[in-house]
Structure 1
Amino acid sequence: MKTKIFKNSNKILLIMVAFVLSSCEKDFLDEELKAQYSTEYFDTAEGLEDLTVSLYGNIRWHFGFEWAYGMTLYGTDEFTNANDLTNEMWNTYDSRLGPMGANPDTGAANWNSTSPAALWDQMYYGIASANTIIANADIIEDDVQRNRNLAHAYFLRGYNYYRLAAQYGGVVLQLEPAVGVVRNFERASDEETWAQIISDFRNAFEHFEGEIFTYGKGVTWTKATAGHFLAKALLFRASERNDDWNSSYIDADLEEAVQATTYAINARGALADNYRDLYADWTGVDSEAEQLDEILMAAPHNDDGSTTGRFGNRTYNYFTPQFSAFSGGWVRRGVWIGGMDFQRLRPTEYSYKVFDHVNDSRMWKTFKTVYGINNVIDDELGLEPGDPGIVMILNTEDDNTYNNFTFGASIQNPDWRDVDGRLPEWELGSRQTETSGSLTSTPGQFVPNSLVLYQNGEYVSPQFKSTPISNFFAGINKTDDGSRFAEKGDAHRDVTMARLAETYLIRAEAYVRQGQYGSAMDDINTVRNRAEWNEGENRSYYVDGSQAFENNALNTGSAADNYINSNLDMNTYYLSNPDLEVTTAASDLTLTSFPDNLPEEDEEILSELGVSGSYERALHFILNERTRELLGEWQRWETLSRTGTLIQRTTTFNEEATDITPNKHELRPIPQSFIDGLLNEDGSNLAPDVQDSWQNPGY
C-alpha cells in the first residue's frame, strides 16, 4: 500500500516549519495533517523522521503548474507551442525569457507564465529541510532510522541541486541550516556544484538499505533510485556541456556510472511486461500501474484534499489538443476524457517520424488519435454518440494514399471510397476489448474532423486548424486521468520521475562514451524489445488513463454515457499504415548493428542533423531512442543541454525556436530578484560589475 505524503511547507533558507504527520499503527495511508512545529521539534528523533517523510512533498511542486513543461519540454526537438502561448518564450527563446521574470509586464501572454525564478526558489525549500536532517542526525540513536533519514536527506538535496545545476549551471551551495537572514552568498563553479551533487548521491546510495520500501512501494526512494541519479550526475559531469573542465573526471565517472546503473538494473529486475502498463493502463488512485518495479521515483498524488492546489498534479492539462474547439462541438470536454484541452505542447514532426510506425508499439500506446462523438451537432448526417468524431492519421512521408485529399473539417474527395469524408471499416470485431476493436461498425462512416501528417511527401499537419498556430494534433496520453472530481480538478495519479528503462539508456550512453558499442547495443535492445508488438496483440486497440472514470463517483447518468461515447478504445494504426494487412503477429525492433546500419527512421534523422562518425551516430541514436521511450517525461531540455545537442537538434526540428542562441541558451538566466537582494558582508549593495558576474552569459 502506498503512503500518503503531504506537502513540505518549509521556507527557503530563512524560516523552516514543516507540516508533521501523525503516526498510524495499521496504515501509513491514514496519516492526517497534525500541526505546525517550531524548529525545536526537529531536534528530536521523531521530528526528524516526520521531516524526512515531508521531503516527498517537495518533489510534487514540479508538476503543480505551467513550469512542469515550460522549462523541461519547450524549446527542444520534441515539442513546440500550440495555439496557447502561455509559455511561448520558453519555446522561442525570445527576449522575454530573461532574468526579470515572466508576466504581462515583461511581455508574457498572461500571469500563468513561468518565471526563471520558480525553480530556483522552490529547490532551496527542500534543501533547507535536508540540511536540518543531516545536521541533526546524530541525535537519532537508532542506527536504522538514522541511516534512513540521512539517505533521504542526501538524496533530496542531491536531486534538488541536480535540477538547479542542470538548468542554471553553478549555483549557491547552502549545505548547513541557515541562521537568521543571510544575504551574502557565493556562487559555486560548475565543477564545485557537480562535485557536491555527486557526493550527495553517493552518500544516499551508501545509506539506503537496498530495496527497502520504507514508506510504501510505488513512492519510496531506494538504493536503486540513488544509483540511477548518481549515474545521471556522473554522466552529466562527463558530458559535452562541461568540456571546458571535465577531462580529468571522464574515465572514472563513466565507470562509476556503469556500476551504479548496474546495481539499479540488477536490484529492480526486468522492465514492465508491456509499455502500455506504464502509463496507458492507469485505472485509478494507487492502481497497479503505480506499483511497478520499473518505477524508481514518482511524485506521489492521491485523492486526499491535502494534495490539491498548487502542489496538486496539473499535468493532464498540457499534452492534449483543443478538441472541444476544433471539433465544432461534436466532442465536448469533461472529466470523462482524461485530459483537458489546454493545447500547450504540440509534438514536432520529429516526434512522429522518429518512430517505426509499423513495428514500434510505443507510438500507438502513447499518441491518442481517435475521439468519439459525445454531442450530436447535425442530425442530418446520421451520426450518433460513440461514432468517431476526431480521427488523426499518423502516416509517413512516403505514403501517397492521401495526396489528393482535402482535410480539415472532414476527409474529402477520397478516390478509393464512394462517399466523401468517410472512413473504411476494419473487420476486427467489436470495440471495448483488448483482443479486438474496430474504428467503426458502419462501412463508410462520415467523420466530422480528420487530420493527416503527410501529403505529397510534405509535412502538412500544422496547417490544420491554425489560429494562427495549429491546435489540432495528436497529443500524448501519459498524464491522462479520469479520476478527477471536476473538469479542471487536480489529477490523482503519481507522476513518474525515473524508471528502469531510462537506467538502461543511461548505461548504454556511458558504454558509448567508453567506446563499448556492443554493450550499449545490448542495453538498447532490452528497451526496444519491450517496445515490440507481442504475438496476438491487437494493434488497433487503444486505452489511456481516461478509463479511471469507470471507478469515479461521477460516473453516473449522462456522464457515464459521455465516457463510453468519448473513449472508443481504438487508434488509427491501419489508417496510418494503409498498405498493411491486418495482423496480430509479433514485431521485431532488435538492432543487429550499432552504430552502423541503423533503422531507416534513424538514418533519415541523422542525415538531417548532418551527423557522422561512430560516436556521434551512437549518441544521436540514443537521443532518438530516449524520445521513443521517454517522450514527454519532463527531462528533454536538460538532456539536450547536457549533451551539447540543444542548439543543433532544436534548430533542425523546431521551427518556432527562432531566437535560440549558442553560448547563451544552454543555461537559464539567474533570477534578477535574487541578484538584487544580495549584499556584501558589511551590508552594502553589490557593485554593478559584481552583480553582472552572477548572471549567466548572454542575459
Structure 2
Amino acid sequence: MNSIKNITIYLVLIMGLSVCSCSKDFLDEELKTQYSTDYFDTPEGIEELTVSLYGNIRWHFGYEWAYGITLYGTDEFTNANDLTNEMWNTYDNRLGPLGASPETGAANKNATSPAALWDQMYYGIASANTIIAKAPEVIENEQTRNRCLAHAYFLRGYNYYRLTAQYGGVVLQTEPAVGVVRNFERATEEECWEQVISDFRNAYELFEGEVFTYGKGITWTKATAAHFLAKALLFRSSERNDSWNSSYKETDLNEAIEACSYAIGARGALAGNYSDLYANWTGVDSEAEQLDEILMAAGYNADGATKGRFGNRTYNYFNPQFSSFSGGWVQRGVWIGGMDFQRCRPTEYSYAVFDHVNDARMWKTFKTVYGANNVPEQDLGVETGDPGIVMILNTKDDNTYNNYNFGAFVQNPDWVDTEGRLPEWKLGGRQTPSSGSLTSEAGQWVPNSLVLYQNGEYVAPRFKNQPICNFFAGINKTDDGSRTAEKGDAHRDVTMARLAETYLIRAECYVRLNQYGNAMNDINIVRERAQWKSGENRSYYSDGSQAFENNSLNTGSAAEKYINSNLNMNTYYLSNPDIPVTTAASDLMLTSFPDNLPEEDEAILARIGASGSYDRALNFILNERTRELLGEWQRWETLSRTGTLIKRAQAFNPEAVNITANKHELRPIPQSFIDGLLNEDGTNLSDAQKSAWQNPGY
C-alpha cells in the first residue's frame, strides 16, 4: 500500500537509556546497522531515519503487551482461562518492578514486563532526538527539513505521551546521548506533559496540512498531530493531575478544542458505515485502510519488513477458545480470521453498555456465530455449515431463555452431562444473511451455545469454566484471513487514532467547560453513524475472515472450512426475541444531556454512583468511548487519566480484586532501569535513592 512499509528499519546506536536487561534480545534480533552513525550527518541519512520512525510504533502490536498494558484490568476486558498476563488484570503482587516469570508465579515466559514499553519508547526517542538535532544542520531544503522535524517531534511526543500516561514522571532525554549514560533525573509529571505538548505543538506547526508524505493511510499529518495534541492537553487537565494542573485547565481545554476542530475540518465526515472500519477488511492493503477517518495506523502488509519479531499478532487476543470448548466441532485455522488464544474476555459491562436493539456497533463488532467445520461421524443432526457455536447476547430483563439448557459441548460416550441431560441448546430458529429473518428450522440442535442472562442473572461465565471462562463473544477488529500460516503474522494495519475519537475528545473538553450542548452535538455525530440505516440487514455479520477469499491457501479442505466456518450471520433476533424482523432505521440521538440518558447508561451510572451533571456527563462519555472504541488499545490510560480506573474496575471487573487506589493508577518503574543507574561520581544508588525513583506502592 505505502512505500513506508517496504523500507527496512534502521535504528541509531545512541540508546541513551538502554541500560536494562530486556534490551538485549531486541538488539540481537532486530537491530540492523547497515550504515555507521556518520550516515546521519547527511540529508539522505536523516530522511531515512525519519522514515524509520514508523517502524517504532509497530512494536506496540507485536506481542502480549499489546493488550496487557492497555486493556487488562479495566471495566471492558478481563482475562479468560489463559493466564499469560493475568497479573496485569488482577493487580496481584506479580505486577511489580521486577516483572513476572514462571519462577515468580507467571503462567509462562510470555508475561509482559513493565520494562517493555519503557525500553522501546526510548529507542524511538533516541532516533527522534538525532533528527531534531541534525536536520537543521544538514538539510538545506526547507520542505524536506520541516517534514523530517515534524515527524521527529511527533514521534518523540507520542512516545513520551505513552511513557507519561503509564508511568507518570519519567526521564526527559531531548538531546542525543553519546555512549551509555547512567545518571539521570526523573522529571515531574507536570514537566513531562509540558514536553509532550511542546513536541506535539511543534509537529502540528511543521506538518504541511493533510499531505501524505509517505503514502495515504499510514502517514502522519497535521490532523494526526492535532488529535494527539488535543489528547495531551486533555490529559494534563484531567483528574489524575488535579494536584497541580489548576492553572492550565481552561487554556488547555480551549486549545484542545481548536486542535480537534482542525482535525475534524481537515478530514471531513466519519466513514459512512461502522463496518467499513474493521469488519469489511478484505485483504492486504484493503480499502478499509485508506479511510479519511483514520488519523494514525501501524502499517503492515505482506512485505518481509513488517513481519517477524514485532509483526502484527493482535488477531490472537480477542477470540474465545472455540476449538477447545466446542469439542472440535469448530477447528481453528487461517480460514477463521482470529486465533482462539482467549486473552481478552469482555466483561458484563462491555455487553450491557450497548443498546442491543438500536446500536449497530454491537452487532458489527461481536462475533456470535461460528459454523461447524468438523462434524464427527456420530449422527447428531448437525451438518458442516450448520451453526456450531451460537452466543445469545440478551439483556438482563429478558426471560425468554430462563428454562433452556446452554453450554459447551460435552464429549462422553452417552453425549450427555453427568446429570443425564444434553447441555446444548435447541435453536428456536436460524438466521440467514440473505433474508435477515429467522427460518422455520425450529429445534435445530447447536453443539455449543451461550446466553448472557437467565432469570435476571448474568450467567455467561458459567458455561465453560476451567477454572475461568473461555467461552464468550469476542470482538472482530483484528481478524485477518490473509495469514499464510495459522500462527503467522497478520497483514492488516492496526488503527491507532481515528476521527470518531477526536469528536469524543472535543465533547469531553466541552463537558469540562460546562458546555453540555456542544458536547451533545459532538456525541450525536458519533452516535448517528452507529444507528442502523434504512434497508440494513440487522442479522448480517462480517469480519476480516473474508480476506481468506483472496488467500492462496483457499483451496481444498481449507476452502471448505472457510465456507462452513463463516456463516455471515449474528444472533440479533435471537438476542432480541421481542423484535420483529425489520429493515427500518434506528434512532440513537440524544435529546438531552447529561439528564435523561439512555436506559443502559442510567443503569451503569447508578452502579458506580455517578451523580451531578459533570460526573454523569464524563461517565457517559466513557461509556460512549467503549461503544465506539472497544478494544482499541487505550482503555487503561483513559480510566487512569480521568480518575475512574479504580471505581470502574472494581464495579465491572470481577478479577481485578487487588486493584489499589494511589498505586495502580501508575505502572511500576522497571527495576532493571533503576538498578542500572549511577550517581554522578560513579557510585551505585543507595536503597533510599532507588526507592525515591519508584512509584508509590511498588
Q: Taking structure 1 as the reference length, what is the TM-score of the superposition?
A: 0.94
Give me the whole-angstrom Cα distance separating, in 2, the residues matched to 1:333 and 1:187. 47
Please tell me whether the aligned partners of residues 7 and 60 of structure 1 are also in contact (alpha carbons under 8 angstroms). no
1:316 offset after TM fit, Å? 0.3
1:107 offset after TM fit, Å? 1.6
Secondary structure at the aligned position of 1:109 is classed as coil
Match of 1:105 in 2: 103
Give me the whole-angstrom Cα distance separating, in 1, the residues matched to 2:371 and 2:214. 41
Question: Residue type of the partner of 1:135?
Answer: A
Please tell me whether the aligned partners of residues 240 and 641 of structure 2 are also in contact (alpha carbons under 8 angstroms). yes
Give me the whole-angstrom Cα distance separating, in 2, the residues matched to 1:298 and 1:16. 26
1:404 offset after TM fit, Å? 1.1
1:4 offset after TM fit, Å? 3.9
1:409 offset after TM fit, Å? 3.7
1:439 offset after TM fit, Å? 6.7
- Alpha-carbon distance change, 336 to 365 in structure 1, aligned in 2, over 3 angstroms: same
Q: 2:155 aligned with 1:151, yes or no?
A: no
Within 5 Å, which residues of 2 pair with 1:26-37? 36-37=34-35
Within 5 Å, which residues of 2 pair with 1:233-312? 233-312=232-311
Please tell me whether the aligned partners of residues 387 and 440 of structure 1 are also in contact (alpha carbons under 8 angstroms). no
Secondary structure at the aligned position of 1:266 is classed as helix
Please tell me whether the aligned partners of residues 482 and 550 of structure 2 are also in contact (alpha carbons under 8 angstroms). yes
Within 5 Å, which residues of 2 pair with 1:191-590? 191-409=190-408, 421-425=425-429, 431=433, 436-437=435-436, 442-590=441-589
Deviates more, 1:168-177 or 1:442-451: 442-451
1:437 offset after TM fit, Å? 4.7
Match of 2:59 in 1: 61
Spell out, residue by residue over 1:254-284, the C-alpha distance to the aligned partner (whole angstroms, 9 max, x if none): 0000000000000000000000000000000
Spell out, residue by residue over 1:130-156, the C-alpha distance to the aligned partner (whole angstroms, 9 max, x if none): 000000011111111001000000000
Secondary structure at the aligned position of 2:379 is classed as helix
Secondary structure at the aligned position of 2:265 is classed as helix
Q: 2:616 aligned with 1:617, yes or no?
A: yes
Please tell me whether the aligned partners of residues 327 and 409 of structure 2 are also in contact (alpha carbons under 8 angstroms). no
Which residue, 92, 113, 116 being the options, matches 2:114? 116
Please tell me whether the aligned partners of residues 57 and 298 of structure 2 are also in contact (alpha carbons under 8 angstroms). yes
Deviates more, 1:101-110 or 1:624-633: 101-110
Match of 2:163 in 1: 164
Please tell me whether the aligned partners of residues 463 and 471 of structure 2 are also in contact (alpha carbons under 8 angstroms). yes
1:306 offset after TM fit, Å? 2.0
- Alpha-carbon distance change, 259 to 420 in structure 1, aligned in 2, over 3 angstroms: closer
Moved over 3 A (4+): 6-9, 11-17, 409-413, 436-443
Spell out, residue by residue over 1:143-180, the C-alpha distance to the aligned partner (whole angstroms, 9 max, x if none): 11001000000000000000000000010000011112
Question: Residue type of the partner of 2:169?
Answer: G
Give me the whole-angstrom Cα distance separating, in 2, the residues matched to 1:304 and 1:14. 27
Give me the whole-angstrom Cα distance separating, in 1, the residues matched to 2:645 and 2:311. 30
Deviates more, 1:241-250 or 1:3-12: 3-12
Match of 1:690 in 2: 689
Match of 1:51 in 2: 49
Spell out, residue by residue over 1:336-383, the C-alpha distance to the aligned partner (whole angstroms, 9 max, x if none): 000000000000000000000000000000000000010011431122
Spell out, residue by residue over 1:623-642, the C-alpha distance to the aligned partner (whole angstroms, 9 max, x if none): 00000000000000000000
Give me the whole-angstrom Cα distance separating, in 2, the residues matched to 1:559 and 1:16. 48
Please tell me whether the aligned partners of residues 45 and 140 of structure 1 are also in contact (alpha carbons under 8 angstroms). yes
Instruction: Identify unmatched segments of 5+ residues in structure 2.
Output: 19-30, 411-415, 418-422
Spell out, residue by residue over 1:112-140, the C-alpha distance to the aligned partner (whole angstroms, 9 max, x if none): 00000000000000001000000001111
Please tell me whether the aligned partners of residues 388 and 440 of structure 1 are also in contact (alpha carbons under 8 angstroms). no
Please tell me whether the aligned partners of residues 100 and 106 of structure 1 are also in contact (alpha carbons under 8 angstroms). no
Please tell me whether the aligned partners of residues 273 and 529 of structure 2 are also in contact (alpha carbons under 8 angstroms). yes
Give me the whole-angstrom Cα distance separating, in 2, the residues matched to 1:409 and 1:262. 49
1:410 offset after TM fit, Å? 6.7
Give me the whole-angstrom Cα distance separating, in 1, the residues matched to 2:80 and 2:357. 27
Secondary structure at the aligned position of 2:370 is classed as strand
Give me the whole-angstrom Cα distance separating, in 2, the residues matched to 1:8 and 1:270. 34
Give me the whole-angstrom Cα distance separating, in 2, the residues matched to 1:103 and 1:437. 49
1:35 offset after TM fit, Å? 6.8
Please tell me whether the aligned partners of residues 13 and 37 of structure 2 are also in contact (alpha carbons under 8 angstroms). no
Q: 2:2 aligned with 1:2, yes or no?
A: yes
Spell out, residue by residue over 1:635-685, the C-alpha distance to the aligned partner (whole angstroms, 9 max, x if none): 000000000000010000001001000000000000000000000111111
1:304 offset after TM fit, Å? 1.0
1:688 offset after TM fit, Å? 1.4
Q: Taking structure 2 as the reference length, what is the TM-score of the superposition?
A: 0.94
Please tell me whether the aligned partners of residues 3 and 219 of structure 1 are also in contact (alpha carbons under 8 angstroms). no
Secondary structure at the aligned position of 2:662 is classed as coil
Which residue, 123, 126, 143 being the options, matches 1:125? 123
Give me the whole-angstrom Cα distance separating, in 1, the residues matched to 2:448 and 2:429. 17
Question: Residue type of the partner of 1:3?
Answer: S
Please tell me whether the aligned partners of residues 277 and 289 of structure 1 are also in contact (alpha carbons under 8 angstroms). yes
Secondary structure at the aligned position of 1:612 is classed as coil
Give me the whole-angstrom Cα distance separating, in 1, the residues matched to 2:440 and 2:67. 39
Give me the whole-angstrom Cα distance separating, in 2, the residues matched to 1:621 and 1:298. 27
Secondary structure at the aligned position of 1:310 is classed as coil
- Alpha-carbon distance change, 441 to 185 in structure 1, aligned in 2, over 3 angstroms: farther
Spell out, residue by residue over 1:543-597, the C-alpha distance to the aligned partner (whole angstroms, 9 max, x if none): 0000000000000111111000000000000000001100000000000000000
- Alpha-carbon distance change, 132 to 392 in structure 1, aligned in 2, over 3 angstroms: same
Question: Residue type of the partner of 1:71?
Answer: I
Match of 2:657 in 1: 658
Please tell me whether the aligned partners of residues 611 and 617 of structure 1 are also in contact (alpha carbons under 8 angstroms). yes
Question: Residue type of the partner of 1:80?
Answer: T
Secondary structure at the aligned position of 2:275 is classed as helix
1:397 offset after TM fit, Å? 0.1
Give me the whole-angstrom Cα distance separating, in 2, the residues matched to 1:307 and 1:494. 10
Secondary structure at the aligned position of 2:256 is classed as helix
Give me the whole-angstrom Cα distance separating, in 1, the residues matched to 2:244 and 2:8. 38
Match of 1:24 in 2: none
1:102 offset after TM fit, Å? 1.9
Secondary structure at the aligned position of 1:379 is classed as coil
Give me the whole-angstrom Cα distance separating, in 1, the residues matched to 2:502 and 2:262. 10
Question: Residue type of the partner of 1:355?
Answer: F
Question: Residue type of the partner of 2:99?
Answer: G
- Alpha-carbon distance change, 387 to 439 in structure 1, aligned in 2, over 3 angstroms: farther
Question: Residue type of the partner of 1:482?
Answer: G
Question: Residue type of the partner of 1:299?
Answer: A
Give me the whole-angstrom Cα distance separating, in 2, the residues matched to 1:403 and 1:269. 47
1:104 offset after TM fit, Å? 1.2
Give me the whole-angstrom Cα distance separating, in 2, the residues matched to 1:289 and 1:127. 30
Secondary structure at the aligned position of 2:480 is classed as coil
Aligned residue pairs total 674
Give me the whole-angstrom Cα distance separating, in 1, the residues matched to 2:10 and 2:42. 19
1:108 offset after TM fit, Å? 1.0
Match of 1:81 in 2: 79
